[in-house]
């Protein structure tokens, strides 16, 4: 969970393919998405004002980077 005190956050995949990614309460939500090492489209997302973003993943590993 990422509260709105963080302006931005990114999800980075450093190995394999991460599957079943869900992001809620963010500018760019995901629903059952995949992120591979070759195509990192989980960067520079924003928590919606007054909300707490929720990130879940079914398979794989992601690095979460939160930026104040």
State the total domains in the chain.
1
- Predicted TM-score (pTM) of the model is 0.86
pLDDT digits (tens, 9 = 90+) for 28-67: 999 999 999 888 877 899 999 999 999 999 999 999 999 9
How many CB atoms lie under 10 A from the CB of residue 45?
19
State the residue range of the domain holding 52.
2-67
Question: How would you write the chain as a 3-class SS string?
Answer: CEECCCCEEEEECCCCEEEEEEEECECCCEEEEEEECCCCCCCCEEECCCCEEEEECCECCCEEEEEC
pLDDT recorded at residue 39: 82
């Amino acid at each position: 969970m990422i509260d709105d005190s963080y302006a931005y956050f990114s999800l980075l995949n450093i190995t394999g393919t991460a599957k079943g990614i869900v992001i809620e309460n963010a500018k760019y939500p995901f629903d059952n998405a995949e992120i591979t090492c070759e195509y990192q489209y989980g960067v520079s997302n924003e928590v919606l004002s007054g909300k707490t973003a929720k990130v879940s993943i079914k398979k794989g590993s992601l690095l979460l980077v939160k930026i104040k």
